[in-house]
């Protein structure tokens, strides 16, 4: 029988949530890398530890934890849907009914064109809130403990799966996104535009 810590997660449960990779198809051509998922609480973390595999289908995962409707309201995921549709070459990518449909039925799907992952594995309401003190005393300690390994993992996965495009977003931690591409694999668009890259381009941001 697994020993439960005061936060309600076993050692294996903690390993599962820290090793969560993302949503969708890692063999897909379009990858999105954010800072961390929104939302998040100890209660949700317990559900994820029990129900999630390392890689999940976006729709199925949020059904498992009762958050599908919240997922469908995400403005970030709507922007991802529009970008993915534009890159795929769908002419209706700016039309609300079309990108809402893509969001609901194709984004982050196990057999689709996209893989959605994060620089950090735990979902959090915002950068100023830290709901996991019972796991790690502070966000700073969590960042120092987890981020270097996560960057190495992302770098390795990108080298292994070689997606055609990687779109990084989340301006506050941009320097850490750059570390993923320290070999000059990618480039960025400045002035608050989405950051996109291909293997044919090099970093241009400062």
pLDDT tens-digit map of 6-48: 678 999 999 999 999 999 999 999 999 999 999 989 999 999 9
d(CA 100, CA 124): 24
Question: What is the per-residue pLDDT for 5?
Answer: 58
Predicted TM-score (pTM) of this structure: 0.87
Averaged confidence pLDDT in the chain? 87
Collapsing DSSP states into helix, strand and coil, what is residue 86? helix
Question: What is the per-residue pLDDT for 8?
Answer: 82
Q: Kindly report, residue by residue over 49-94, the tens digit of the pLDDT.
A: 999 999 999 999 999 999 999 999 999 999 999 999 999 999 999 9
Collapsing DSSP states into helix, strand and coil, what is residue 178? helix
Token pair belonging to 32? 């999105």
| Percent of the chain residues past pLDDT 90, beyond the cut | 76
Q: Which of 73, 59, 66 is nearest to 23 (CA)?
A: 59
Listed range (103-107, 146-150, 153-157, 167-171) with the worst mean pLDDT: 167-171
Assess whether pLDDT exceeds 50 at residue 169: yes
Question: What is the per-residue pLDDT for 185?
Answer: 53
What's the whole-number mean pLDDT along residues 170-180?
86
Domain architecture of the chain: domains with CATH: 11-180 (3.40.470)
Q: Per 3-state DSSP, what percentage of the chain is helix, strand, and coil (rounded to 5)?
A: 40, 10, 45
What's the whole-number mean pLDDT along residues 150-177?
91
Could you tell me if 176 and 151 are in contact, meaning their C-beta atoms sit under 8 angstroms apart? yes
């Amino acid at each position: 029988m697994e020993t439960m810590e005061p936060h309600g997660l076993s050692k294996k449960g903690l390993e599962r949530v820290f090793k969560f990779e993302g949503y969708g198809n890692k063999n897909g051509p379009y990858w999105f890398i954010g800072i961390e998922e929104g939302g998040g609480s100890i209660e949700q973390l317990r559900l994820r530890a029990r129900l999630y595999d390392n890689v999940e289908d976006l729709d199925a995962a949020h059904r498992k934890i009762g958050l599908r409707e919240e997922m469908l309201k995400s403005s970030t995921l709507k922007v991802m849907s529009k970008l993915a549709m534009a890159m795929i070459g769908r002419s209706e990518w700016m039309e609300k009914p079309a990108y809402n449909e893509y969001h609901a039925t194709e984004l982050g799907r196990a057999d689709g064109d996209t893989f959605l992952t994060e620089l950090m594995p735990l979902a959090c309401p915002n950068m100023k809130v830290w709901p996991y003190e019972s796991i790690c005393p502070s966000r700073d300690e969590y960042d120092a403990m987890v981020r270097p390994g996560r960057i190495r993992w992302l770098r390795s996965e990108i080298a292994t799966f070689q997606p055609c495009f990687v779109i990084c977003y989340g301006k506050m931690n941009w320097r850490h996104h750059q570390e993923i591409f320290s070999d000059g694999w990618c480039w960025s668009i400045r002035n608050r535009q989405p950051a996109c890259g291909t293997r044919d381009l090099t970093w241009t941001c400062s």
